[in-house]
Structure 1
């Protein structure tokens, strides 16, 4: 059955056609995004939801979306999506951070020109029939120092454009390497030095706990007198009240804002102040950018729904289409290892330790980790997936650690998962053979070679004669066909295990019959998703 997507905001017809061309059923109804009751009533019909800013994907909407797998935001900001609710529900949240980079960077440069030359006020004055040449004395950009707070994708483009304007550029960004700074041609500085040196300051960071009001009253006081501030990133990065006071005092010579702490901004301390340029969040408002982000979100959502490729997800590691293809068997193995331990562990788990050995250690370990944790968590909640499992693990205080190492055994690669509870540690290891099929290769430190099937039986016993006969006769008596039979032991006469791959679920009667023989220390049925 083809996946089904709802486009509830205004996206280009090109994007809608991409869904159709990829074989995805799509309903295009921009009116639904503004009608939360209608959206609530239909959302459970869809595997994907493609939106812009009008649709509010609230916790209530997400919880009602029983089939929803992915929400795609055509644009950068995801303030209209309850990401925590989506993660708990196992819904991937994607955005398109690259489609409007050029447009947003160009808007910041345009705003810098506008405030440097007081273009909006001069235009309004001229339209009013005045000719006030002496009133609108501006400043050149050439030779001035631009301070860029946040030198990521958009900030980096602004740096390049500013250098083309013959400006000197200093950048503050904790994640900016010296090599990247040199490649951009900018000087990396700390925030205080940027504030003291910059003639113009432009912000290009997301709003986080660390960046909220990064330009507060204290920071503004450290700025060079006559500075001009541009914000085309996110509202709330600048204390608007403090900036307004600095503008009134003349310490700050001008400001240009495209974003505000409260939007839509019908009132702001910055409104109606001289040499303050304001626009209604137009950073991405070009025909090219809107087309780009719409096409990108359609392609990303289609890739995920059809191939499992994850691009620009905010609550799950990205997995390229090529990775999804090559890692498929290893992701399946990760899930099976987790499922084995999850079904065998009844105590609260304190820690999950994952070892990657050999060629698998160079794969996308973040995604493989999610697969392991999801497999473990599914034992208690079948609705858990790779998105929601890490969230649940974190809520439960489970510590997850990862180790990778070069090939150290007989296999080219393997994964070993160990869980730690209050009373014990339990481990299982597996690999992927050349046929692409995952195998268990070690359980409780005992080497095995076990094919993984949908329905399995696991037993432990002391290594004594007759165990194979008891298992075979009990399965035969209960008309359970054995597809594969694997044995292993720690040492002669020591602890031994058996793993049977059978054609039907192991019944309570079979478990009881085996326990009644007195031959087994443990008897457990296991189920694996091998679809």
Structure 2
């Protein structure tokens, strides 16, 4: 059955057609984004939800959508999506951070010019029939020092365009490398230095606990007299009350704001000040940008629903379509390894260690980690998946560690999973053969070669004669067919294990008969999603 996607906000017909062309069953109803009750009633049967800013993806909406696998936001901002709730429900949240980068950067540059030359006020005055040339004395941008807070995707474009316009650019960004700064043609500085040197300050960072009010009253007071402030990034980065006071005092010469702490902004301390230019969050509002992000989100969601490729996800590691093809069997193996130890562990897990050896160590380990953790967690919560499992593990205080190793042993690559509880440690290793099928190759240090099936039986015992006969006879007498049978032991007369691949789940009375023989220390039925 084809995946189903609901488009609940305005998206271009070309983007909607992409879903159809890719074989997706798409419903286009942009009226739903503004009608939460109608959306709640409609969303339950869909695998994907494509939105802009009108649709609010709340915990309540997610509860009403049991089949939902992915939310795609056409644009960069996801403030309208409850991402923690989505992660707990196992729903991937994607955005399109690159489709509107140029448009937003251009808007910031435009705001600098508008503020520097008082263009909106001069425009209004001239339309009113006035000719106030002497009133609108502006300043040149050329030769001025521009302070860029955040030199990532959009900030980097602003840096390049500003350098081209003849500004001297200083940038504050904890993640900006010296090499990247040199390539952009900017000087990397600390925030304190930027505040005291910049003639114009423009912000290009997300709103986080670290960046909230990054231009606080205290930091604004450190700026040079006559500075101009531009914010086309996110509301809440600047203390609007403090900025308004400094604008009235004349310490700040002007400001250009496209975003506000509360939106839609019907009032603000910055409104109606003569030296302030404001726009209603138009950073991404160009025909080109809106089309780009719409096409991008349609492609990304289709790729995920059809191939498992994950692009621009905010709560899941990205996996390209090519990676998905190569990694598919390894992702499945990681899930099987996790499912084995998860089903064998009946006390709280304190730590999970995942060891990657050989060729697999060069793959996308974040995605493999998510699959392994998901396998472990499904034993106690069958509804978890690769998105929600890491969240649940963190909430439970489970320590996750990853180790890469160079090739060792007879296999080109393998994954080993170690789970620790307060009283014991369990380990299992597996590999993927050339036929693409996952295999278990070691359990608690004992080498084996076991194909993975949907129904399996794991037993442990002392290495003594009669084990194989007892297992075979008990299964046969009770109509349980053995598809594959694998044995292993640590040494003669020592610990031994058996792993049976069965056609069906063994009934409880059969398991009790095996336990009653007194030959087995462990008799554990296992189930795997193959």
| Fold-level similarity (TM above 0.5) | yes
Matched with 2:367 is 367
Alpha-carbon separation, structure 2, partners of 1:162 and 1:101: 15
Give the structure 1 partner of residue 112 of structure 2.
112
Q: Which residue of 2 aligns with 1:131?
A: 131
Aligned residue for 1:287?
A: 287
- The offset of 1:64, in angstroms, is 1.0
- SS of structure 2 residue aligned to 1:408: coil
Report matched runs for 1:193-342 at 5 Å.
193-342=193-342
- CA deviations 1:65-92 (Å, max 9, x no partner) are 1100000000000010000110000000
- Counterpart for residue 10 of structure 1: 10
SS in 2 for 1:306: helix
Taking only aligned residues, the RMSD between alpha carbons, in angstroms, comes to: 0.5
**In structure 2, C-alpha distance between the alignment counterparts of 1:398 and 1:343, rounded to whole Å:** 17
What does residue 72 of structure 1 align with? 72
Which runs of no fewer than 5 residues in structure 1 stay unpaired? none
TM-score, scaled relative to structure 1: 0.99
**CA shift for structure 1 position 398:** 0.4
Q: Distance in 2 between matches of 1:223 and 1:484?
A: 74
Partner residue in 2 for 1:410: 410
Contact 1:63 1:85 in 2 (8 A): no
Q: Which residue of 1 aligns with 2:518?
A: 518
Deviation at 1:516, TM superposition (A): 1.1
TM-score normalized by structure 2?
1.00
State the match for 1:528 in structure 2. 528
Unpaired runs of 5+ residues, structure 2, are none
Secondary structure at the residue paired with 1:134? Answer: coil
Q: Which residue of 1 aligns with 2:469?
A: 469
Q: Distance in 2 between matches of 1:118 and 1:409?
A: 72
Runs of 4+ in 1 over 6 A off after TM superposition: none
Shift of 1:359: 0.8
Paired residue for 2:174? 174
Shift of 1:63: 1.1
1:507 Cα deviation after fit:
1.4
SS in 2 for 1:270: coil
SS at the partner of 1:521? strand
Partner of 1:22: 22
Deviation at 1:405, TM superposition (A): 1.0
CA offset digits 1:127-174 (Å, max 9, x no partner) = 111111111000001011100000000000000100110111000000
SS in 1 for 2:281: coil
Question: What is the rounded CA distance, in whole Å, between the counterparts of 2:183 and 2:402 in structure 1?
Answer: 33
Give the number of equivalent residue pairs.
Answer: 530
CA distance in 1, matches of 2:386, 2:154: 30
Shift of 1:224: 1.1
Q: Indicate the SS of the match to 2:431.
A: strand
SS of residue paired to 1:331: helix
Q: CA deviation at 1:459?
A: 0.1
Instruction: Return the alpha-carbon distance in structure 2 between the equivalents of residues 354 and 506 of structure 1.
Output: 31
Q: Deviations over 1:210-266 (max 9, x none)?
A: 000000011101111100000000000000000001101111000000000000000
Secondary structure class of the residue paired with 2:520: coil
Structure 1 residue 415, shift from structure 2 partner:
0.5
SS at match of 1:301: helix
**Is the 8 Å Cα contact of residues 309 and 319 (structure 1) preserved in structure 2?**
yes
Distance in 1 (CA, whole Å) between partners of 2:337 and 2:161 is 51
